[in-house]
Amino acid sequence: MTRSTDPRPAPAVITEDDPRYESAVRCGFNQRFVSRAGSICFPTGTAEVVTAVGDAVAAGRRVTVRSGGHGYEGTGSEDGDGGVLLDLSMMTDIDFDPARRAFSMRPGAKIGDIYRELYKRWGVTVPAGEGIEVCLGGHLVGGGFGPLSRRYGAIVDYLCAVEVVVVDAEGRAEAIVATDDPADPHHDLWWAHTGGGGGNFGVVTNYWLRRPGSTSHDPRELLPPAPVRWRNGHLMWSWDTMTERDFVRIMRNYSAWFERNSAPGSREADLTAFFSATHRSSGVIAVGSLIDDDIPGARELTNEFFDAVTDGVHVAPSVRADDGVESWLYFFTHSNRGDHNGLGGSRFKLKSAYLRRSYTDEQIAAAYRHLDTENPKSIYFMFIGYGGQVNAVSPDATAVAQRSSVLKGAFLSAWWDPKEDDYHIGNLRALYRDVYAGTGGVPVPDDRNDGAYINYPDRDLADPQWNTSGVPWSTLYYKDNYPRLQRVKARYDPRDEFRHSLSITLPGDGS
């Protein structure tokens, strides 16, 4: 790497003529989107980010940002020809900041490393995701969630301060620390980073997290206690024995359990689960349960859940296992199911949905017909437990507006050959469109749907060919919080230096 002779702190840089350039731009998760930036900067601290951003803006070069490269839709790399890509993967520090009584975490810190560090040093944790190679940078600002969210809430609910490098109207770059204190003049900038999505306002260089309302100075009391043992159970059915009736029944039972059992602080909110169905050619339909095994009655609650899911289903599951218990730390930092890089290097498309209530039988049957075809399809149809403590927070208290949902849906496809892009993307689009045929092909917020998840960005929501609802993509992602996010954008990024295909627009620029 080459370094500038400028006396200001400057990051290491790889340029297009460097033999490492191609591997550096191709380290992202989704190979459908590869940056063609003129240079890639690797800052190690805030001062270097300020220098890199300021120099890029002064030179009229586009700035794009990535932390771990796990963006699903290329929003951290698109339209970057000749620009500057800031790769924050070297900013990995995790520590306790006694002055703020909070845990300081840099954007390049991986989720798995955060779990390990917090557990081994203080015995605490955060309700982040299962992807141990995902970095905190984009995960948190987009409203990240995981298996502990029903019990502990969304990770943004623990954000007490954030440091952001922004660009003012004159093009000057500076670092601002914004806090959850309503008297802070930068309070709105903090709020925008509690679910506003990455690449919208500036470059996050530090997050500080602590339990809301805590007055303690003891770090062991400033985040939720980490589980010690983790119980995971499974129900599995073979596609060879599955019927449309039973498929509909299983998913309705699964969803109905979350409708009934997602009150904040309830016994049932300690348990989360997933429903996953792939195409018939892949062999199985699965339901998995997850719970802290030290909670009294964890195994009993697991079986109550399984009984509810299998109620009235004619086909018995080929597997029913309720006794998978292992170290929580091992489960979340070593097991393959927690590493999204299992698909790393592939081509990928993902669509999302929040559900306030179960799909109708007609919607589930439509999904079944897409999965039960002779031609193999690379499709994953998944629904993940949500609600619980997440729903204890007001929709406008953070930028995450979906505070009455009980499930998150993920429709995804992964493949390797670029020649198959149209086939796989077409299959996924058709599935999503047919499930949401009654609302213009997208999950328009109503008494059943609650929009889409910005950390699973989908450009189709901004395309009138695929979104025929008349409801803009910004409403699907942000609901009534969007105008406030636009005002924050106008104040802290008035030149629209930080932009992408689904970025928050300046007021008056459309959505």
Structural domain contains residue 489: no
Burial class (CB in 10 A: 0-12, 13-18, 19+), 7: exposed
Residue 289 contacts residue 233 (beta carbons within 8 Å): yes
Residue 326, classed as helix, strand or coil, is strand
**CATH number of the domain within which 450 lies:** 3.40.462.20
What is the predicted pLDDT for the residue at 359? 97
Pair 155, 203 in one domain: yes
Q: Which of 165, 188, 221 is the last residue of a domain?
A: 221
Structural domain contains residue 5: no
Domain that holds residue 71: 12-87
Distance, CA of 69 to CA of 86 (rounded, Å):
11
Pair 271, 384 in one domain: yes
Structural domain contains residue 502: no
Distance, CA of 219 to CA of 118 (rounded, Å):
10
C-alpha pair distances (Å), 98 with each of 16, 102, 117, 235: 42, 7, 17, 45
Pair 70, 109 in one domain: no
**CATH number of the domain within which 174 lies:** 3.30.465.10
Distance, CA of 185 to CA of 212 (rounded, Å):
20
Pair 307, 186 in one domain: no
Distance, CA of 196 to CA of 183 (rounded, Å):
21
What is the predicted pLDDT for the residue at 26? 80
Residue 141 contacts residue 193 (beta carbons within 8 Å): yes
Residues 6+ apart with CB under 8 A from 57: 63, 167, 171, 173, 495, 497
Residue with tokens 């070593």: 334
Q: To which H or E segment does residue 424 belong?
A: helix 421-435
**CATH number of the domain within which 56 lies:** 3.30.43.10
**Helical segments of 436-478, H only:** 473-478
Residue with tokens 């009654």: 438
The number of C-alpha atoms within 13 Å of 492 and in the hemisphere containing its C-beta is: 33
Structural domain contains residue 242: yes
Q: What is the residue type of 330?
A: Y
What is the predicted pLDDT for the residue at 10? 82
Residues 6+ apart with CB under 8 A from 478: 196, 399, 401, 451, 454, 485
Pair 56, 180 in one domain: no
What is the predicted pLDDT for the residue at 342? 45
End-to-end alpha carbon distance in the chain: 40
Pair 70, 101 in one domain: no
Distance, CA of 481 to CA of 395 (rounded, Å):
8
Pair 381, 429 in one domain: yes
- pTM metric for this prediction: 0.94
Structural domain contains residue 392: yes
Residue 238 contacts residue 250 (beta carbons within 8 Å): no
Structural domain contains residue 503: no
Distance, CA of 265 to CA of 16 (rounded, Å):
53
pLDDT digits (tens, 9 = 90+) for 167-179: 999 999 999 999 9
**Helical segments of 171-243, H only:** 187-192
Structural domain contains residue 339: yes
Pair 200, 51 in one domain: no
Residue 46 contacts residue 163 (beta carbons within 8 Å): yes
Pair 257, 113 in one domain: no
Total of domains in the chain: 3
**Strands 94-97 and 102-105: what pairing?**
antiparallel
Output the tens digit of pLDDT for each of the chain's 511 residues.
344 455 678 889 999 999 998 888 887 778 887 888 899 999 999 999 999 999 999 999 999 999 888 877 777 655 556 899 999 999 999 999 999 999 999 999 999 999 999 999 999 999 999 989 899 999 999 999 999 999 999 999 999 999 999 999 999 999 999 999 999 999 999 999 999 999 999 999 999 999 999 999 999 999 999 999 999 999 999 999 999 999 999 999 999 999 999 999 999 999 999 999 999 998 899 999 999 999 999 999 999 999 999 999 999 999 999 989 999 999 888 754 444 444 456 888 999 999 999 999 999 999 999 999 998 899 999 999 999 999 999 999 999 999 999 999 999 999 999 999 999 999 999 999 999 999 999 999 999 999 999 999 999 999 999 999 999 999 999 999 999 999 999 999 999 999 998 999 999 876 6
The number of C-alpha atoms within 13 Å of 60 and in the hemisphere containing its C-beta is: 0
Pair 335, 400 in one domain: yes
pLDDT digits (tens, 9 = 90+) for 386-436: 999 999 999 999 999 999 999 999 999 999 999 999 999 999 999 999 999
Q: Which residues is 382 bridged to in the sheet?
A: 276, 410
Structural domain contains residue 511: no
Residues 6+ apart with CB under 8 A from 296: none
What are the φ/ψ torsions at residue 500 (nearest 5 degrees)?
-160, -175
Pair 392, 474 in one domain: yes
What is the predicted pLDDT for the residue at 255? 98
Pair 25, 112 in one domain: no
Q: What single DSSP character describes residue 341?
A: G
**Strands 347-355 and 272-278: what pairing?**
unpaired
Count CB atoms within 10 A of the CB of residue 314.
Answer: 9
Q: What is the residue type of 226?
A: A
